Amino acid sequence: MALWIVATPIGTLQDLSPRAREVLRSAQLIAAEDTRVTRRLLSALDIPSPPMVSVHAHNEHKREDVARRALDEDIALVCDAGTPGLSDPGSQVVSFAHQMGVVVRSVPGPSAWTAALAVSGLPCSPCSFLGFPPRKGRDNWARALLRRAETIAVYEAPKRILDLVHRLAELDGGREAVLCRELSKVHEEVLRAPLSELEAALSQRDQLRGECVLLIGPGTPLRDKRSSLDSGSLKDISAALGRRWCVPRKEAYRRLLDLEADYES
């Protein structure tokens, strides 16, 4: 008996592995992020639907119950798309299972952020996955992200992706980024450009559709720019950063003063 962590397609049904099909067929219970989504998947694949239970952000007791049942049953854990436990409540089910001594097995497969990283052409090592940005405090979150030097991958809803790119471009418009949308689907799109150019391109679009993965390439962390204020004139520094951020020198000067105030506060 075990808890089986089963990756499901992020867009194309054929991406479900034969082993995943077998585990889903034989499981005595499926723990799903949204049972309606999982039932549609099983129906499309002609897999009989076993009993299901929903595990989501607002029913922690269910997650613990699922883990306990895996002591005596084979239970498949799935999310709506991709690998469970990455930016969904599945990780807590797995944590409970380990605490109870449940055997945990992996049935690997699709993952949106690793697929995006593979097609981005950005350095893969080091790389960090940060999940979804917060709804509040996004400016501070963006500033903290750009203080890191490695490639960063995040998920974002299509209705908020322009806002996120705008906040990042305000801080470092020249930093390379890649937006991946509708991966493995008919309208798959991969856009690579500096953040300022990516913002300009997205601002010309109507409302985007489909899940988005945004990757921000490595660059000079913002904290290093603070130390550069001590060497050289603000005029020269503003001109250099204006070219990097793709903004006029006066705008770069204003941002420098804002950054300096942030670090001193």
CA distance 116 to 190: 8
CATH 1.10.150.530 given to domain 113-219: no
170-218: pLDDT as tens digits: 999 999 999 999 999 999 999 999 999 999 999 999 888 888 999 999 9
Helix axes of 161-172 and 195-203: crossing angle, nearest 10 degrees: 140
- In a 13 Å sphere around the CA of 112, the CA atoms on its Cβ side amount to 33
**Integer CA distances (angstroms), 181 to 90, 113, 148, 158, in order:** 23, 11, 24, 9
Query: What percent of the chain clears pLDDT 70, i.e. is strictly above it?
Result: 92
Phi, psi of 58 (to 5 degrees): -115, 15
Tokens linked to 145:
């992200």
> Is residue 190 a contact partner of residue 201, using CB atoms and an 8 Å limit?
no
Q: What is the three-class DSSP state of 71? A: coil
- The CATH 3.30.950.10 domain(s) of the chain lie at 113-219
Give the confidence band of 226 by pLDDT, cuts at 50, 70, 90. Answer: very low
CATH 3.40.50.800 given to domain 3-110: no
8-27: pLDDT as tens digits: 999 999 999 999 999 999 99
- The CATH 3.40.1010.10 domain(s) of the chain lie at 3-110
CA distance 209 to 182: 8
